[in-house]
Protein backbone atom coordinates (compact mmCIF):
# COMPACT_ATOMS: atom_id res chain seq x y z
CA UNK A 1 0.00 0.00 0.00
CA UNK A 2 1.29 3.45 -0.88
CA UNK A 3 1.94 5.86 1.94
CA UNK A 4 0.89 9.49 1.98
CA UNK A 5 3.65 11.69 0.63
CA UNK A 6 5.33 13.54 3.46
CA UNK A 7 6.05 17.20 2.81
CA UNK A 8 9.18 18.88 4.18
CA UNK A 9 8.83 20.77 7.44
CA UNK A 10 12.23 22.48 7.49
CA UNK A 11 14.45 24.22 5.01
CA UNK A 12 17.06 21.45 5.43
CA UNK A 13 14.52 18.76 4.46
CA UNK A 14 13.41 20.81 1.45
CA UNK A 15 16.97 21.29 0.24
CA UNK A 16 17.82 17.61 0.85
CA UNK A 17 14.99 16.63 -1.50
CA UNK A 18 16.33 18.88 -4.22
CA UNK A 19 19.82 17.47 -3.78
CA UNK A 20 18.38 13.92 -4.11
CA UNK A 21 16.59 15.02 -7.29
CA UNK A 22 19.74 16.65 -8.65
CA UNK A 23 21.83 13.52 -7.99
CA UNK A 24 19.21 11.25 -9.58
CA UNK A 25 19.17 13.40 -12.71
CA UNK A 26 22.97 13.60 -12.82
CA UNK A 27 23.33 9.81 -12.49
CA UNK A 28 20.66 9.14 -15.11
CA UNK A 29 18.35 7.42 -12.60
CA UNK A 30 15.52 9.78 -13.49
CA UNK A 31 14.63 10.90 -17.00
CA UNK A 32 11.74 12.76 -18.55
CA UNK A 33 9.96 11.94 -21.79
CA UNK A 34 9.37 15.59 -22.66
CA UNK A 35 11.81 18.46 -22.34
CA UNK A 36 9.01 20.66 -20.95
CA UNK A 37 8.87 18.45 -17.85
CA UNK A 38 12.32 19.67 -16.77
CA UNK A 39 11.51 23.36 -17.22
CA UNK A 40 10.63 23.90 -13.55
CA UNK A 41 13.73 22.07 -12.35
CA UNK A 42 16.06 23.99 -14.66
CA UNK A 43 14.69 27.32 -13.38
CA UNK A 44 15.65 26.64 -9.74
CA UNK A 45 18.28 29.21 -8.74
CA UNK A 46 20.84 29.24 -5.97
CA UNK A 47 21.62 32.11 -3.64
CA UNK A 48 25.21 33.41 -3.26
CA UNK A 49 25.59 31.24 -0.13
CA UNK A 50 24.74 28.11 -2.24
CA UNK A 51 21.29 27.69 -0.67
CA UNK A 52 18.22 27.16 -2.86
CA UNK A 53 16.24 30.29 -3.70
CA UNK A 54 12.72 29.27 -2.65
CA UNK A 55 11.20 31.99 -4.84
CA UNK A 56 12.53 30.21 -7.95
CA UNK A 57 10.92 26.84 -7.10
CA UNK A 58 7.66 26.18 -8.93
CA UNK A 59 5.08 23.46 -8.23
CA UNK A 60 6.48 21.05 -10.81
CA UNK A 61 10.00 21.20 -9.36
CA UNK A 62 8.68 20.84 -5.80
CA UNK A 63 6.56 17.81 -6.71
CA UNK A 64 9.47 16.12 -8.49
CA UNK A 65 11.71 16.67 -5.46
CA UNK A 66 9.07 15.27 -3.10
CA UNK A 67 8.53 12.29 -5.40
CA UNK A 68 12.27 11.55 -5.46
CA UNK A 69 12.32 11.62 -1.67
CA UNK A 70 9.36 9.21 -1.57
CA UNK A 71 11.19 6.79 -3.87
CA UNK A 72 14.30 7.02 -1.70
CA UNK A 73 12.26 6.05 1.38
CA UNK A 74 13.05 2.60 2.83
CA UNK A 75 9.35 1.75 3.21
CA UNK A 76 8.85 2.34 -0.51
CA UNK A 77 11.81 0.13 -1.37
CA UNK A 78 10.42 -2.70 0.80
CA UNK A 79 6.99 -2.37 -0.81
CA UNK A 80 8.55 -2.48 -4.27
CA UNK A 81 10.61 -5.59 -3.41
CA UNK A 82 7.49 -7.37 -2.12
CA UNK A 83 5.63 -6.50 -5.33
CA UNK A 84 8.51 -7.81 -7.45
CA UNK A 85 8.60 -11.05 -5.43
CA UNK A 86 4.82 -11.44 -5.79
CA UNK A 87 5.00 -10.88 -9.56
CA UNK A 88 7.79 -13.45 -9.87
CA UNK A 89 5.78 -15.95 -7.84
CA UNK A 90 2.71 -15.37 -10.00
CA UNK A 91 4.78 -15.81 -13.17
CA UNK A 92 6.22 -19.11 -11.89
CA UNK A 93 2.74 -20.38 -11.02
CA UNK A 94 1.47 -19.55 -14.51
CA UNK A 95 4.46 -21.21 -16.18
CA UNK A 96 4.07 -24.36 -14.04
CA UNK A 97 0.37 -24.62 -14.85
CA UNK A 98 1.00 -24.06 -18.56
CA UNK A 99 2.23 -27.63 -19.03
CA UNK A 100 -0.84 -29.22 -17.44
CA UNK A 101 -3.56 -30.43 -19.84
CA UNK A 102 -6.77 -28.42 -19.91
CA UNK A 103 -9.90 -30.47 -19.18
| Tens digits of residue pLDDT in 40-89 | 888 899 999 999 999 999 998 999 899 888 887 766 677 777 878 777 77
| pTM exceeds 0.75 for this model | no
DSSP for the chain, please give it. -PPPPPPP-SHHHHHHHHHHHHHHHHTTS---SSGGGGHHHHT--B-TTS-B-GGG--HHHHHHHHHHHHHHSHHHHHHHHHHHHHHHHHHHHHHHHHTSPP-
Tell me the pLDDT tens digit for each residue of 3-35. 777 888 999 999 999 999 888 888 888 887 777
Amino acid sequence: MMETMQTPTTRAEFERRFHLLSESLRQGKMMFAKKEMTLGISQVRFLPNKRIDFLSVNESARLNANMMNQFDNEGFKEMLEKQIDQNASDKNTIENNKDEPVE
